Chain A
Amino acid sequence: MNEIVEGFIKAIDLIITLDPEVMEITIRSLQISLAATALAALASLPLGGLIHFYEFRGKKAVIVVIQTLYSLPTVIAGLFLFLLISRAGPFGFMGLLFTQEGMVIAQMILIIPILTGLTISALSNIDKEMRETIVSLGASWFDSILTIMKEARFAIFAAVVLAFGRAISEVGAAMMIGGNIRGSTRVLTTAIALETSMGDFPLSIALGIILLGVAVVVNLGLFIMQQRGLS
C-alpha cells in the first residue's frame, strides 16, 4: 500500500517539476497520435461521406466490415503492419519499422475504421426530412453533402475525439512497430508497460496520470463544444 502512495507522491512531483523524460514522452505521444488522427480523419471523413452518399452493391457488407474493424486487436494491426514494413516485407525498403512514421501508420490503421464508421452513422442520423428540406431548397449535390456534413459536425467531431483516444491509448501496435526505443519511439503507453515491468512505479503512475489527463481534457473540450452547439 505504501508503495502505491509513495508512487503517487513521486509521480505528482515528476509532473510538477516537468521532468524532462516525462515531458519528452508525453510530447512524442501527442505528436504521433495527433498526426495519426489528423491523417486518418483526412482519409476517413470523405470515405465515410462517399460510402454514405453513394448507393452501390455490397454497401451494407462494407459497413458491417468497417464496424467489425472497430474492435481490431491492436496487436493484429501491429502484426499486419510489421509483416508489411519489416525488412523482408513488400514495403521493407521504406525503412518504416521502429520509426515514429511507422507508428503513425499503425495508429491510422486502427482508427480509420472507427472514423469512417462513425462518420457514416453521424450522416445517417441526419433525418430524411432534413435531406428533403435541403433538396427542396435547391441545393446542388455538392451543397447537399456540405450542408449535411455541417449538420453532423458535432457527431463527426466526437468520432475524431474517440479515434484520438484509441490512438493515444493503444499499446500493442506501438510496441511492435515502434519498438519502445528510448528517445525515439517511446510513447506514454509503451513507457508505462516497460517501467511497470521494471518496477519503476512512480514514472508509470506519472505517465498514467498524464494519459488520463489528456483523455479528460479532450473529452471536456468536446463536451463544451457540443453544449455550445446545442444551446
Chain B
Amino acid sequence: MIELDHVTMTYESRDVVKDITLQVKKGEIFGIIGPSGSGKTTLLKIINLIEKPSSGRYRFDGSVVFRTGKGADPVGRRMAMLFQKPVMFNASVDDNIGMGLRFRGVREAGRYPLVEQALQEVGLAGYGQRKARTLSGGEAQRVALARAIVISPDLLLLDEPTANLDPKTAVVIEEIIRRLNREKGMTIVLSTHDLVQGQRLCDRIGVVIDGQLCQVGTPVEIFHMPGSTPVAHYVGVENIFNGRIIDASAGCTRFETQGVVLMSGSERPASQEVAASFRAEDVTLIIGDAGKTSARNLLPGKIVEMSPYGPFTAVKVDCGITITAFLTRTTVEDLAISKGSSVTAAIKATAVHLFGT
C-alpha cells in the first residue's frame, strides 16, 4: 500500500529522515519504533503528505504521490492521522469529529449518523454536544481518534497514540486499534517508543534510530534477532558481544569473544565483523550440577552485581565475559544466590543470535 523509496527529509541542513526505503502492506499493522527525536513523527507526516520529503519517491497504492503539504490531495483524503498531542478545535465534539467529513463535502444530515457511530466506537457515546476543549487528555485523544476514523480511511496513521495516557485509557485505545484492523481491514501505521506496545499490536515493526530505518521485521525478529548493535541496544538486549566466527556447521555456529566460545543456532552472517546477542531473559543460572540442562552454552562464573530491574532482578555474572540474566524474585530466593556466588550461566544455542556489525 505504501512504498517509500530512498526518502530523505532535510530540515535546517539536518537529515531528519535518512534514505528510508519501506513498504507497508495492505491490512497490516506496521509499527515504527525508535527513541524520541529519531524521526518517527516526520516519517508519519511524510506518509500523511503533511511534510514534503527533500528527495526520494513515495508511492501510495502503486501510484506516485506528487503533491504534499497542501492538503485536499485525493491520496491524502484516503488516510487519516492521529497526532501525539491531539488538537481540539474550539467547537463541539460533534463538530470536531465531523470536520474531515465536512471537508469532503458531506452535508450535516449525512455527517450526524457517522459522527455518532464514531463516538460509539471510541466509547464516548453521548459526548457530542460537549465543548471539545473541556475534555480530559484521554477523552480528547479518543475524540481525535474518532475524527480520524469517521472518514473510513484506507490508511490510519497513529503517532504515539497512547504516549500521554494513563494505562487504563491506553488499553482502550489499543483495543480500538486492533478492532479497526481486524474488523474493517484498515491498514495502520503507528509510531511508538513503547516497545511492549509495538510487540503487542504490530504485525511488523521498523526500527528508526537517528533518522535511519535500521531494521524491519516481525516482533520476534526485532526483539530476538536484532540486525545491528544500535537496534539490539534499543530493543533492550542486555548481552551484546563483538567477536569472530570460529567455524560453522549445519545448525551450529561457534563464535568466540574475549576467549569465551558461544554456540549459536544462527546462520553465519556474511559480514566479517560479527556480534552475538542474547536477551537477559534467555539466560538461566544454575547452581552446582549443570548436567541436566539441554542448553549448549554453559559458562561458569561468579556473580558480580545484583540490582532490581522492575519485577526482576538483574544479575551480572563474570564468566570471562559479563553476562546479564533477569531472574524473578522467587528464583533468586530459591537459588539463594548473592554477590560472589558461583553459578553457571546456561544459554540455549537458539537464543544466541549472530549479526554482522
The answer on a CB contact under 8 Å between B103 and A139 is yes
Contacts of B100 in A (CB 8 A): 137-138
The answer on a CB contact under 8 Å between B81 and A229 is no
A122 → chain B, closest Cβ, in Å?
13
Q: What CA separation (Å) do A135 and B122 show in the bound complex?
A: 23
Contacts of A151 in B (CB 8 A): 89-90
Given contacts A138-B77, A140-B72, contact A133 B151 (CB under 8 A): no
The answer on a CB contact under 8 Å between B70 and A141 is yes
Partner of B72 from A132, A138, A150, A231 at Cβ < 8 Å: A138
Name the residue on A nearest B76 (C-beta): A138
Q: What CA separation (Å) do A135 and B103 show in the bound complex?
A: 10
Q: What CA separation (Å) do A137 and B157 show in the bound complex?
A: 12
Name the residue on A nearest B73 (C-beta): A138
Q: A139-B103, A141-B71 are known contacts; what are 10 more A-B pairs with Cβ within 8 Å? A: A137-B99, A137-B103, A137-B147, A138-B100, A138-B103, A138-B104, A140-B72, A144-B71, A151-B90, A154-B90
Q: What CA separation (Å) do A154 and B50 show in the bound complex?
A: 27
Assess whether B233 is interfacial by the CB under 8 Å rule. Answer: no
Total count of chain A residues near the partner, CB < 8 A = 22
Given contacts A147-B99, A151-B89, contact A138 B151 (CB under 8 A): yes
Contacts of A138 in B (CB 8 A): 71-72, 76-77, 100, 103-104, 151
Assess whether A143 is interfacial by the CB under 8 Å rule. Answer: yes
Partner of B69 from A135, A137, A143 at Cβ < 8 Å: A135
Assess whether B131 is interfacial by the CB under 8 Å rule. Answer: yes
B111 → chain A, closest Cβ, in Å?
13
Interface code A123-158, partner B: CB below 8 Å = 1, 0 otherwise? 000010110111111111101100100110010000
**Interface residues, chain A, CB within 8 Å of chain B?**
127, 129-130, 132-141, 143-144, 147, 150-151, 154, 229-231
Q: What CA separation (Å) do A139 and B103 show in the bound complex?
A: 5
Assess whether B60 is interfacial by the CB under 8 Å rule. Answer: no
List the 3 closest pairs (A to B, CB-CB), nearest first.
A140-B72, A135-B71, A137-B100
Contacts of B85 in A (CB 8 A): 129
B302 → chain A, closest Cβ, in Å?
54
Assess whether B284 is interfacial by the CB under 8 Å rule. Answer: no
The answer on a CB contact under 8 Å between A140 and B71 is yes
Q: Enumerate 28 A-B pairs (CB-CB under 8 Å) in ascending A order.
A: A129-B83, A130-B89, A132-B50, A133-B83, A134-B71, A134-B99, A135-B50, A135-B69, A135-B70, A136-B50, A136-B80, A137-B100, A137-B103, A138-B72, A138-B100, A138-B104, A138-B151, A139-B72, A140-B72, A143-B71, A147-B99, A150-B89, A151-B89, A151-B90, A154-B90, A230-B133, A231-B131, A231-B134
Greatest chain A CB density within 10 A among B49, B85, B103 is at B103
Q: What CA separation (Å) do A25 and B85 show in the bound complex?
A: 53
Contacts of B90 in A (CB 8 A): 151, 154, 229-230
Interface code B141-157, partner A: CB below 8 Å = 1, 0 otherwise? 00000010001000000
Assess whether B87 is interfacial by the CB under 8 Å rule. Answer: yes
Contacts of A136 in B (CB 8 A): 48, 50, 71, 76, 80-81, 83
Name the residue on A nearest B51 (C-beta): A132
Greatest chain B CB density within 10 A among A130, A139, A141, A147 is at A139
Contacts of B72 in A (CB 8 A): 138-141, 143
Greatest chain A CB density within 10 A among B77, B90, B151 is at B90
Contacts of A135 in B (CB 8 A): 49-50, 69-71, 76
Contacts of A154 in B (CB 8 A): 90
Interface code B103-137, partner A: CB below 8 Å = 1, 0 otherwise? 11000000000000000000000000001011000
Q: What CA separation (Å) do A108 and B77 show in the bound complex?
A: 42
Greatest chain A CB density within 10 A among B45, B72, B131, B147 is at B72
Q: What CA separation (Å) do A140 and B70 show in the bound complex?
A: 8
A137 → chain B, closest Cβ, in Å?
4
Contacts of A134 in B (CB 8 A): 71, 99
The answer on a CB contact under 8 Å between A129 and B87 is yes
Name the residue on B nearest A130 (C-beta): B87
Contacts of B89 in A (CB 8 A): 130, 147, 150-151
The answer on a CB contact under 8 Å between A143 and B103 is yes
The answer on a CB contact under 8 Å between A140 and B83 is no
Greatest chain B CB density within 10 A among A130, A135, A229 is at A135
Q: What CA separation (Å) do A231 and B147 show in the bound complex?
A: 22
Q: What CA separation (Å) do A143 and B71 show in the bound complex?
A: 10
Q: What CA separation (Å) do A127 and B87 show in the bound complex?
A: 9
B346 → chain A, closest Cβ, in Å?
51
Q: What CA separation (Å) do A141 and B99 show in the bound complex?
A: 14
Q: What CA separation (Å) do A231 and B133 show in the bound complex?
A: 8
Partner of A140 from B45, B99, B103 at Cβ < 8 Å: B103
Q: What CA separation (Å) do A154 and B89 show in the bound complex?
A: 13
Q: Which residues 49-107 in B have Cβ within 8 Å of A in the complex?
A: 49-50, 69-72, 76-77, 80-81, 83, 85, 87, 89-90, 99-100, 102-104
Partner of B71 from A127, A130, A139, A150 at Cβ < 8 Å: A139
